[in-house]
Amino acid sequence: MDIERERLAERMNFYLDSRKTDEEVKREVPIAMTDAARFNAVDTRRTLLQVEANAYEQAVRANPQLTAKEVTSQLVDSRIKRYCYRPFDLRWIYWEMHTSFWMRSAKIMYMHG
C-alpha cells in the first residue's frame, strides 16, 4: 500500500524479482518479509513468485516479443488498484487473491497509520 503508485510499483517489482534473495528483499521491504500470525513471509513470497512465473509464461506465449522486464512490469501494473483506505484517503494497493499478503499489510498499516 502506498500513496504513490510508482513507488508501490517499484517495491513490488523488487519484491517479485526472482533473482533477489529473501534477505535482499527484507533489507529493501522489511514489512513484506516479516512473519506474523497466520503469515509466513517466505512461503508467501514463494507462492507469489510462482503465480508471477505462471502469468509470465502465459504473457510470453501471447506476445513473444516482450522482454522479461516488460512482462513483469505489465503484470505488476495490472494488479495495482486504487483503494479507499479511509474517507478522503485514497491509496494504491497491490491486489492479488492467492495469499493474505495484502490484507496483512493493510492491518499492519492500519495499526501503525
| pLDDT tens readout for residues 50-104 | 988 898 899 889 988 988 788 888 889 998 999 898 999 999 998 887 776 665 4
- Measured CA to CA, the distance from residue 84 to residue 78 in angstroms comes to 18
pLDDT top residue among 113 and 79: 79
Instruction: Count CB neighbours of 2 within 10 A.
Output: 17
The range of the structural domain enclosing residue 59 comes to 5-112
Number of domains in the chain: 1
- Measured CA to CA, the distance from residue 90 to residue 4 in angstroms comes to 10
95 contacts 79 by C-beta, under 8 angstroms: yes
Q: Give yes or no for residue 112 having a pLDDT over 50.
A: no
What is the pTM for the complete model shown?
0.79
